[in-house]
Amino acid sequence: MTPKALLILALLVAVGGCSGSDETPGYDLDSDSQAQVVADAYAARVFAAYQETETKAKDLEAKIKAFVAAPSEAGFTACKSAWLAARPAYGRTEAFRFYGGPIDAKDTGKEGEINGWPLDENFVDYVKDDPDAGIVNKPTEFPTIDAKVIAGLNEKDGEKNLSTGWHAIEFLLWGQDLDDAGPGKRPYTDFVDSGTAKNQARRRTYLVVAAELLVADLAEVRAAWEPTKGYAATWVTRSRKQSLLDVFQGIVSLSGIELGGERMTVAYTNQDQEDEHSCFSDNTTADFAANQEGIAAIYLGSAERPGLSVLVKAKDAAIDAAARKALDDATAAIKAIPAPFDTAIKGEPGRQKVKAAIDALKVQTDALVKAANLLDLKVSTKA
Amino acid sequence: MRTRYLIGCLALGACAGASDPPATLDPDRALSAGEGTVLDTTRDAFGRPLANMRADRRDAFFVGNSFFNRTWVAAPTSTESFDGLGPTFNATSCSACHFKDGRGRPPAEGDRMLSMLLRLSVPGADAHGGPAPEPTYGGQLEPNGILSVPGEGTPKVSYVEQPGSYPDGTPYSLRLPTYRIDELHYGPLAASVLISPRVAPMVAGVGLLEAVDDATLLALADPDDRDGDGVRGRVNRVWDEAAGALRIGRFGWKANQPSVAQQNAGAFLGDMGITSPLFPKENCPTSHLECRAAKSGGSPEIVERDLAAVLFYTRVLAVPARRNVDDPQVVAGEQLFSTIGCATCHVAALTTGAAAAEPELQMQKIRPFTDLLLHDLGEGLADGRPDFSAGPRDWRTTPLWGLGMIETVNGHTLLLHDGRARGPEEAVLWHDGEAKGARQRFTELTRDERTKVIAFLRSL
């Protein structure tokens, strides 16, 4: 049959009202007790992951507050270490996005406020060639700096700009990365009265407010997943099939569209120095690894919290084995990318490694889609 | 999976359930985008690459898609590829207005105008015969500004209901919009200002429309109404910046853009304030001191390579297949659509040329339901604003492909250039001028027949 004939045939089916289904006869996730176990385990995993992230973010907040009370080189380094220590925990939670759950629910989700990128650096603070840029340096326009001011500028898509979250804090701690070899080099004296740059007190306030807002936003997402409350209460009572579709949608989207596509393929193709998410701290490769850990944990599960693998294996051990292998391969390929990412995308051997990771993520995405199809779950692979 | 399903279906003979379509109908009428047609009935229906595209070309599609969705930020930043927003702008990304590559809408009550804009001009013409920009605000109102640069003003829309009824007594109501601009930051508008509201049109399919030869459009045109049917149809002739000459216009609500490349570069500059190799000058009228003082994101702000990625992406976006084409209601509706004269302008099928920009676009029989020509649609719809050879009451025939999927993709059914029509029926009823006869014949159909026409439109 020619491709065109096949297409027309497919259309006939699509439009002709044929009833049909890809489901295995007699199989229904909603009546599979193991599916319930897996969906419930997922909710517990999400709650624990946000709890861990919130704890790490609170530590960052504490370090920042200690630093601004008495700025010092050591205190500044402690802030940066706390930021780097908190990022993997958050990176693992990104696998809980892409299905309109608490993190990115339409209108109420805080994802943009927590992790929005690219950052409007010059909405926040001075940048190269513009020493008076940013809310920090505009006391007349913004007499007070509070959560309302910085979040208010961070509103709806297409209208406002990004001036909060992980990357705003990162920018305040590292400054612009103007160096091919290393991260940004903001001096701690930017936070010392009469030190470097201008408006040091306002910069201290911005840093504290941004940290407090990040903790508050993460607490809100964590609370939504608190067992028996909020969103988690509806999760355990809704259709298993819907829940597991969401679980698959989250990891497939992160694997294929976000990680392999947006964060790697585009940067690989364009080779832009700062087309990377943690561009101030050069932490992007660690972000990738954390994202991948999040994906793998959801599929593989653990003894206490069984993952999707259990359901897939029960139906087709070969498809499960292929998915596991794809996860292992992608994990290894991502780990093989030399840091920093902005250097890796520009020359060998970095580019080969990035390309290998992109290819491994394609295989992984296809394997996960196949696993979802096996359970009659139709995930979208479109950005 | 799909193959197995198909074979099963055939074996059962279940596909024979639908009635055979009459011989007069195009047997491939579901294939809106020819061999590039995609089968997608989800909210991603307008965001797929053409089905006839080779797999090894999909990374380029992905990169373009990323740029289309990417948020632009004010310069200077570390993310140099994505800075240069504004100083004034309508939106910070392509997808903010063309959400899911689909269609924009007027704001709901109390909301800000986002996926729609107001074109501004004064009577007269610019050096190339295009609209003369409003002296203070330029060719378009940009409601937003980057830090320290005020937006130009806040556009508002309100509606007045205009009740009417069909000859059979069935009542309807059309809403007539009026526009005003509050908080004009740079002083009053010229007394003679002409305002044209435009919602963001669907992006999917523009590459195929571009691939239709000029000769095909000229053959459809009938500027002097030689056939005496009251429907003329004229091409717009608009300035082509790259060619430095007038060319046939085919994009925009008044066919005022000659190519997808210029349409895209124009939107980057006009809607987001991003300069490009084609339009390297920042869009700041002389009196906007804050705007003129703002930092640039480089010259140009989007480089040729990235603009080319967006161009490729927009050109190869597919149009989804029609649904329910064998449903007897839809079949009858399609025939009525033709017999009452709608298809005179909303031409069902066109064939693309052999020299199209990408191989996937070449020699395709497409079903866009447009002639891409200008028609006088009467006083009720007129924006009163000439645009090159488009007169104050002229609009380009809107392609109707994808119409039935707008609700799924974009969550609304608001149609026409300013989204005043709350569904296809109201859109038909607003037609006047050259379309008066067709509108009249639609109203004279029985209620049952009108339902069939609407069922057909929803199948697109």
**Is the domain of B326 the same as that of B308?**
no
CB contact under 8 A, A14 and B321: yes
pLDDT value for B422? 98
Q: pLDDT band for position A14 (50/70/90)?
A: very low
The burial of B22, by beta-carbon neighbours within 10 Å (0-12 exposed, 13-18 middle, 19 or more buried), is given as: exposed
Give the residue-averaged pLDDT of A189-204: 97
Q: Is residue B243 part of a domain?
A: no
Q: Give contacts of B 46-85 with A, CB under 8 A.
A: 47-48, 51, 59, 62-63, 65-67, 69-71, 73-82, 85
Question: How far is residue A126's CA from residue A200's CA, in Å, rounded to a whole number?
Answer: 11
**Is the domain of B329 the same as that of B415?**
yes
Tell me: pLDDT of A181 over 90. Answer: no
Q: Which domain holds residue B66?
A: 60-201+261-314
**Is the domain of B405 the same as that of B439?**
yes
Residue B402: closest CA among B23, B43, B4: B43
Q: Which candidate in B43, B50, B147 is best for mutational testing of the A interface (most A CBs within 10 A)?
A: B147
Q: Which of A71-80, A245-254, B66-75 has the lowest mean pLDDT?
A: B66-75
pLDDT value for A22? 42
Element (H, E) at A245: helix A240-252
Cβ–Cβ < 8 Å for B221, B214: no
> Residue B353 belongs to a domain with what CATH number?
1.10.760
pLDDT value for B299? 85
User: What's the average pLDDT block by block, 10 residues per block, for chain B (460 residues)?
Assistant: 34 39 80 95 90 87 89 81 88 91 91 92 96 94 89 95 97 97 94 97 98 97 92 97 97 98 97 95 83 84 94 97 96 97 97 96 98 98 96 98 96 97 98 97 98 98
Q: Is residue B219 part of a domain?
A: no
| Chain B hits for A162, Cβ within 8 Å | 71, 73
Q: Give contacts of B 320-339 with A, CB under 8 A.
A: 321-326
CB contact under 8 A, A373 and B71: no
N-term to C-term CA, chain A? 31
**Is the domain of B41 the same as that of B104?**
no
The burial of A284, by beta-carbon neighbours within 10 Å (0-12 exposed, 13-18 middle, 19 or more buried), is given as: buried
Tell me: pLDDT of A131 over 70. Answer: yes
| Chain B hits for A160, Cβ within 8 Å | 92
Q: Is residue B209 part of a domain?
A: no
**Is the domain of B392 the same as that of B443?**
yes
**Is the domain of B328 the same as that of B296?**
no
The total domain count for chain B is 2
**Is the domain of B362 the same as that of B442?**
yes
Tell me: pLDDT of A118 over 60. Answer: yes
pLDDT value for A23? 42
CB contact under 8 A, A135 and B79: no
**Is the domain of B274 the same as that of B376?**
no
pLDDT value for B261? 98
Q: Is residue B227 part of a domain?
A: no
CB contact under 8 A, A16 and B144: no
**Is the domain of B185 the same as that of B328?**
no
pLDDT value for A2? 41
Question: How far is residue A218's CA from residue B271's CA, in Å, rounded to a whole number?
Answer: 34
The reported pTM is 0.84
**Is the domain of B36 the same as that of B64?**
no
Domain termination site, one of B279, B314, B349: B314
Q: Is residue B246 part of a domain?
A: no
Q: Which candidate in A12, A126, A128, A177 is best for mutational testing of the B interface (most B CBs within 10 A)?
A: A12
Lookup: tokens for A204: 């201290």
Q: Which candidate in B77, B82, B117 is best for mutational testing of the A interface (most A CBs within 10 A)?
A: B77
Residue type, A43: A
Q: Is residue B325 part of a domain?
A: yes
**Is the domain of B21 the same as that of B157?**
no
CB contact under 8 A, B77 and A121: yes
A155 touches chain B (CB under 8 A): no
Q: Is residue B383 part of a domain?
A: yes
Beta-carbon contacts of A267 under 8 Å, excluding residues fewer than 6 positions away, are A275, A276, A341, A345, A354
**Is the domain of B43 the same as that of B97?**
no
Give the residue-averaged pLDDT of A217-242: 94
Q: Which candidate in A4, A9, A11, A155 is best for mutational testing of the B interface (most B CBs within 10 A)?
A: A11
Question: How far is residue A155's CA from residue B342's CA, in Å, rounded to a whole number?
Answer: 43
Catalogue all structural domains in chain A, each as residue range(s) with its CATH number: 30-374 (1.20.1420.20)
CB contact under 8 A, B76 and A158: no
pLDDT value for A262? 82
| Chain A hits for B321, Cβ within 8 Å | 11, 14-15
Share of chain A above pLDDT 90, in %: 67
Indicate the angle between helix axes A3-15 and B2-12, nearest 10 degrees. Answer: 70
CB contact under 8 A, A129 and B324: no
ipTM score for this prediction: 0.71
Distance from CA of A198 to the nearest CA of B (A): 18
Strand pairing of B88-89 and B144-145?
A: antiparallel
